[in-house]
Amino acid sequence: MEQLTYNYGKRYGLPAGTGNLIYYASGTGKKSIVLMHGYHFNSQTWENAGLVKALNKAGYKTFLIDVPNFPESVNKFWATPKDTVLILDAFIDDIVKGNPAILGSSASGFLWGEYLVQHRDKVGDVVFCAPVNLEELDLKNVDNRMLIILGSRDSRNSYIKEGIKQLKKAKVVTMDGGHVPYMDHPEEFCRLVIDFLGGK
């Protein structure tokens, strides 16, 4: 993966030298996907799970964002969920372009949920892994094609399922594993994602 920097500060009139987001890109495919990791992880997680390689092989250019201020992120600046939505909107408009697929795990699923409330028309397929706190959002108008992957042994499943009830069109798949099933069974997780993006 190539490490790059995007200056979203220009778009929002921030002082020179501020508003920089570190991200990673890989692949040369015509389709694009933007990935964000869970709270205690970083972008390397997706490469370790084999997902970046699988997506590149399937014809996707991957854009991986280290979520601002998550403990293991290289982006150490503070950003509220609303700030993150603004950054994501600028990033997709200026860097990714088109209507990319998006993928988020756990807490970043919530951040993508915030984004979808406002900008569901700017993205295509959606993949969530064990998204938390979606019950706090009004997602009833979100009709993007969506896959939600849960781990069968995730202790958070009861309230995750409560949060995803409003996403009536989503395909929900439960695989063996805990809150991060892509670490328990990475090959199966990658297959589920690739099959879904491929229309299966």
pLDDT per position as a tens digit, 16-34: 878 999 999 999 999 999 9
pTM of the model as a whole: 0.96
Q: For all residues of the chain together, what is the average pLDDT? A: 95
The fraction of the chain above a pLDDT of 70, given in percent, is 100
Could you give the number of structural domains in the chain?
1
Best CA proximity match to 181, nearest among 145, 156, 144:
156
pLDDT at 200 exceeding the cut of 80:
no
What secondary structure does DSSP assign to the chain, as a single string?
-EEEEEEGGGTTTPPTT--EEEEEEE---SEEEEEE--TT--THHHHHTTHHHHHHHTTEEEEEE--TT-TT-S--S---HHHHHHHHHHHIIIII-S--EEEEETHHHHHHHHHHHHHGGG---EEEES--SGGGS--TT--S-EEEEEETT-TTHHHHHHHHTT-TT-EEEEESSSS-HHHHSHHHHHHHHHHHHTT-
Instruction: Give the Cα separation of 40 and 91 in Å (integer).
Output: 23
Instruction: Choose the weakest-confidence range: 14-23, 26-35, 118-127, 143-152.
Output: 14-23
Dump pLDDT digits (tens) for 155-193. 999 999 999 999 988 999 999 999 999 999 999 999 999
Give the domain range for residue 159.
2-197
> Across the chain, which distance is largest between two alpha carbons, in Å?
48
pLDDT for res 32 = 98
